[in-house]
C-alpha cells in the first residue's frame, strides 16, 4: 500500500484532529514585533514562539492541491520535483502532493551551496524546484544555469520575480485527489547521501520502502493516537521523516520545532504534551550540560508525558545514556541504526527492553536481516570484526544514474553498509567504525569510534573526533581532535594521563583542541577535519607515549 493512503485514511477518520504543529522561536514575525516596539531584541529563549497547526483534513487537502498544481504545470508521472525548505508546516504537504501526482520527491539539504544545489538538481533530473526565502540568494546565482527546471515555486511572502508564488497558485487548485494510480513498486523519492566523503549520491527509493519505514517505526516504538512526536532534525533527511512516519501510521500529532536550544526543547515538550523525542547526540549533551550548570531546572517544566528518548544517526556514547538516565530515570531509551540507502533508521534496532545493552546498535529491525561478513562475504563469528550488511524491504532501488556505485554496495539482495561491526554472544551488534575510517598504525587496526566513546566519558570533554594522520614510521597515527566543555581547564598532558586507561596501541598519538564540526544529522564531518589537519606535519602537539 502506498504511504499516501495513510494520509487519506487519517483525513477520513480524524478530519478535525491535529496532525502537525510548527513552532518557530526565531520566526521573522517575532523580530518584526521587536522592531515595531523599538525594543532591544531579547534572548530568543524568552520570547513566545510563533506557532501554527493543521488538521489531518487540512493536511490532506493541501497535498491534493499541490498535486493538482504540479499536474497543471506540466509535471508528468515519474518526473522529479525538488524541495529546498527549512522545516515548516508546508514541507510535508508538499512532499505528499508530489507523491500523489505520481512524481518523485527530491528533498535537498538546506546547507547545500549554490553549486551543490545545481549538482543535485542535474543528477536527479529534477523538473521543478520548490524553495523558501532562506535560499533566494543561492537560487539567484544558478537560476540561469538550470534549464531543465520548468518552474521555480517560492514558499514565502515576497516572491522574487523569477519564481512563482506557491501560496498564490495553490489557492486556485482543486481539493480533490488526482486520479493517478500508485503502486508499491513505483519510484517515490530520491534522497542524497550525507556527502561527508565528497559530492552526494542520489539514492532512489520506491513506495514499498517508505511504507515499510512507517510500519517498522511503529513496531519499534509503539506509537498510538495518544502519542505526540517532537521532530527537530531536518525533514530532508530520511531519519527525521521516517521516524515521523510512525506518527502518520498511528494518526498521532507531531511537532516541528525550528531550533535546538535546550530550553526550547524542554519548553515544547512541556507545552505540547510531547511523549516521544528523537535527539542527536550533541542536543542530548547540551540538555544535560544546561541542567548540570543550573541554566535549566527540570521542575520548571511539565515533562510527565515524555515516555521515550531515542537517538540515531551516529554512534551513541554509553556514558551519555548513563547521564541521561540519572536525570530522567523514568524515560525509555532506544537507538536505531540505518542509512539513507536503507530508508533511514531501523534496519538495526536496540529496543527499549534492552537498556542493559547500551552501546550496541541492536539486532535486525522489524522485517530486516543483518550479517557481519569478511572481505570475501563470509559471515564471521562472535566478537570478530567485519562489515555489516543488511537486507529487507527498505533497501534502495539503486544509486540513480550510477550503476557502478550501485553494484559496489548491492550484492544478491544485500546492502553492504561500509560500517565495521561485531556481534556479541547474545546476537547484539556493536558498531566499530566506518570501513574507510579505520586507522592502520604499525600494522594494528584502530577503530576511531572506540577511542571517541572513551574520550567522551571524560568530565572535561564535550565532543571528540579521531582521524588518521600520515606518519613516516607507523604509516598512520591516531590524532584526537577534542572540544572541551565550557569552562573546562585541561591540557594535553591531562588528556594523555586520562588515555593511559586505553591499551597502548589505541592511545591517540596527538591531541588537538578544536571545535568538532557536525552536519545537520549529527555526523562528524571528518572530511573537514582531514582537510584542516591531514596535511600538516606533526608539530607543536602533545605526543602521547
Count of residues making up the chain: 545
25-39, 55-69, 180-194, 360-374: which has the minimum mean pLDDT? 25-39
Q: What residue spans of 222-280 are helical by DSSP H?
A: 238-250, 262-272
Closest by CA position to 230, among listed 187, 180, 283: 283
Q: How far is CA 481 from the centre of its chain?
A: 23
What integer pLDDT is reported at residue 129 of this predicted model? 98
State how far the Cα of 526 lies from the Cα of 439, in Å rounded to an integer: 13
- Dist CA 526 CA 142 (whole Å): 28
Residue 473's pLDDT is: 58
Cell of 21: 504543529
Q: What is the pLDDT of residue 44?
A: 42
Average pLDDT, the chain: 88
131 vs 118: CA distance, rounded Å: 13
Q: What is the CATH number of domain 438-533?
A: 3.30.300.30
Residue 543 has what pLDDT?
41
Rounded distance between C-alpha atoms, residue 143 and residue 162, angstroms: 8
pLDDT at 273 over 50: yes
How far apart CA 170 and CA 326 sit, in angstroms, is 50
Region 456-477: mean pLDDT is 80
Question: What's the CATH fold of domain 312-434?
Answer: Luciferase; domain 3 (2.30.38)
Strand order in the sheet with 510-513: 461-471, 475-484, 510-513
- Angle, CA of 224, 359 and 496, to the nearest 5°: 145
DSSP-derived secondary structure letter, 28: H
> pLDDT tens digits for 400-417?
999 999 999 999 999 999
pLDDT in tens, 132-169: 999 999 999 999 999 999 999 999 999 999 999 999 99
d(CA 68, CA 70): 5
The DSSP output letter for 362 is B
Residue 314 vs residue 359, higher pLDDT: 359
Q: Give 53-93 pLDDT, tens digit per residue.
A: 999 999 999 999 999 999 999 999 999 999 999 999 999 99
Residues whose CB is less than 8 angstroms from the CB of residue 439 and which lie 6 or more positions away in sequence, other chains included: 445, 446, 447, 448, 466, 467, 468, 476, 477, 478
**DSSP β-bridge partners for residue 464:** 482
What is the CA 50 to chain-centroid distance, rounded? 24
Angle in degrees, 0-180, between the axes of helices 4-13 and 56-72, rounded to the nearest 10 = 130
C-alpha cell of residue 88: 515548516
* pLDDT, tens only, 371-389: 999 989 999 999 998 999 9
Cell readout for 191 is 534522497
Other Cβ atoms closer than 10 A to 364? 18
For residue 527 the three cell numbers come to: 572530511
pLDDT band (50, 70, 90) for residue 544 = very low
Are 63 and 55 in contact by the 8 Å Cβ rule? The answer is: no
CA 404 to the chain's CA centroid = 26
In angstroms, the Cα distances linking 325 to 218, 283, 329 are 23, 15, 5
What are the cell numbers at 8? 487519506
Separation of alpha carbons 215 and 162, rounded Å: 41
Q: What is the pLDDT of residue 537?
A: 43
All three cell numbers of 113: 551551496
Within 10 angstroms of residue 17's Cβ, the number of other Cβ atoms is 15
Is residue 389 a contact partner of residue 423, using CB atoms and an 8 Å limit?
no
Give CA–CA dist 205/191, Å, rounded. 8
- In three-state secondary structure terms, 29 is helix
Distance CA 223, CA 14 (A): 16
SS3 485: coil
* Coil/strand/helix, residue 479: strand
**470-524 pLDDT, tens per residue?**
765 566 788 899 999 888 888 989 998 999 888 777 888 889 999 988 876 667 8
For residue 542, name the pLDDT band (cuts at 50, 70, 90).
very low
pTM above 0.75, yes or no: yes
Write down the domain spans for the chain: 4-306, 312-434, 438-533
- The count of C-alpha atoms lying within 13 angstroms of the C-alpha of 13, restricted to the half-sphere facing its C-beta, is 13
- Which residue in the block uniquely carries the three cell numbers 521587536? 34
Q: What letters, b where the CB count within 10 A reaches 16 and e where it falls short, cover 383-404?
A: eebbbbbbbbbbbbbbbbeeee
pLDDT, tens digit, 9 for 90 and up, residues 431-443: 876 667 777 675 5
CA distance 303 to 97: 35
Tens of pLDDT along 298-355? 999 999 999 999 987 666 778 889 999 999 999 999 998 888 999 877 899 999 999 9
According to CATH, the topology of domain 4-306 is Rossmann fold (3.40.50)
**Res 194: pLDDT:** 66
Amino acid at each position: 500500500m502506498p504511504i499516501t493512503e495513510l494520509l487519506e485514511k487519517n483525513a477520513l477518520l480524524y478530519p478535525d484532529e491535529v496532525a502537525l504543529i510548527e513552532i518557530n522561536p526565531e520566526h521573522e514575525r517575532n523580530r518584526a514585533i521587536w522592531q515595531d516596539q523599538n525594543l532591544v531584541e531579547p534572548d530568543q529563549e524568552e520570547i513566545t514562539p510563533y506557532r501554527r497547526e493543521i488538521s489531518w483534513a487540512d493536511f490532506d487537502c493541501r497535498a491534493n492541491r499541490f498535486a493538482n498544481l504540479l499536474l497543471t504545470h506540466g509535471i508528468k508521472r515519474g518526473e522529479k520535483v525538488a524541495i529546498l525548505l527549512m522545516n515548516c508546516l508546508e514541507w510535508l504537504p508538499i512532499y505528499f502532493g508530489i507523491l500523489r501526482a505520481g512524481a518523485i520527491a527530491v528533498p535537498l539539504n538546506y546547507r547545500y551551496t549554490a553549486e551543490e544545489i545545481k549538482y543535485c538538481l542535474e543528477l536527479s533530473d529534477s523538473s521543478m524546484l520548490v524553495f523558501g526565502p532562506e535560499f533566494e540568494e543561492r537560487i539567484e546565482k544558478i537560476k540561469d544555469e538550470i534549464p531543465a527546471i520548468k518552474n521555480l515555486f517560492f514558499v514565502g511572502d515576497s516572491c522574487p520575480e523569477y519564481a512563482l508564488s506557491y501560496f498564490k497558485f495553490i489557492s486556485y487548485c482543486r481539493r480533490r485527489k488526482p486520479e493517478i494510480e500508485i503502486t508499491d513498486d513505483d519510484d517515490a523519492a530520491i534522497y542524497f547521501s550525507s556527502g561527508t566523503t565528497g559530492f552526494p549520491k542520489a539514492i532512489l527509493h520506491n513506495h514499498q520502502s517508505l511504507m515499510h519505514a512507517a510500519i517498522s517505526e511503529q513496531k519499534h516504538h509503539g506509537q498510538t493516537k495518544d502519542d505526540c512526536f517532537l521532530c527537530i532534525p531536518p525533514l530532508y533527511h530520511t531519519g527525521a521523516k521516517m521516524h515521523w512516519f510512525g506518527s502518520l501510521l498511528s494518526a498521532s500529532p507531531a511537532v516541528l520545532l525550528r531550533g535546538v536550544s535546550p530550553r526550547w526543547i524542554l519548553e515544547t515538550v512541556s507545552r505540547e504534551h510531547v511523549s516521544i523525542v528523537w535527539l542527536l547526540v550533541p542536543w542530548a549533551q547540551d540538555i544535560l550540560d544546561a541542567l548540570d550548570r543550573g541554566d535549566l531546572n527540570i521542575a520548571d517544566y511539565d515533562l510527565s508525558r515524555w515516555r521515550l528518548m531515542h537517538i540515531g544517526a551516529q554512534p551513541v556514547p554509553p556514558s551519555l545514556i548513563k547521564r541521561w538516565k540519572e536525570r530522567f530515570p523514568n524515560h525509555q531509551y532506544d537507538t536505531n541504526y540505518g542509512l539513507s540507502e536503507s530508508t533511514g533508521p531501523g534496519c538495526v534496532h536496540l529496543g527499549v527492553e534492552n537498556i542493559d545493552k547500551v552501546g550496541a546498535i541492536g539486532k535486525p529491525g522489524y522485517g530486516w536481516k543483518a550479517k557481519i561478513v569478511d572481505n570475501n562475504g563470509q559471515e564471521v563469528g562472535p566478537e570478530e570484526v567485519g562489515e555489516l550488511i543488511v537486507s529487507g524491504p527498505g533497501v534502495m532501488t539503486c544509486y540513480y544514474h550510477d550503476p557502478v556505485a550501485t553494484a559496489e554496495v548491492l550484492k544478491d539482495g544485500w546492502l553492504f553498509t561500509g560500517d565495521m561491526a561485531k556481534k556479541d554472544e547474545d546476537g547484539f551488534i556493536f558498531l566499530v567504525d566506518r570501513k574507510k575510517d579505520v586507522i592502520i598504525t604499525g600494522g594494528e587496526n584502530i577503530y576511531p569510534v572506540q577511542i571517541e566513546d572513551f574520550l567522551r566519558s571524560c568530565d572535561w570533554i564535550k565532543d571528540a573526533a579521531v582521524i588518521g594522520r600520515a606518519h613516516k614510521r607507523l604509516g598512520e597515527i591516531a590524532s584526537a581532535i577534542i572540544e572541551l566543555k565550557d569552562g573546562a581547564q585541561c591540557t594535553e598532558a591531562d588528556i594523555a594521563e586520562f588515555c593511559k586507561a586505553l591499551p597502548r596501541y589505541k592511545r591517540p598519538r596527538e591531541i588537538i583542541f578544536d571545535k568538532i564540526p557536525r552536519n545537520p544529522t549529527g555526523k562528524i564531518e571528518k572530511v573537514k577535519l582531514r582537510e584542516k589537519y591531514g596535511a600538516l606535519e606533526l608539530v607543536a602537539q602533545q605526543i602521547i607515549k
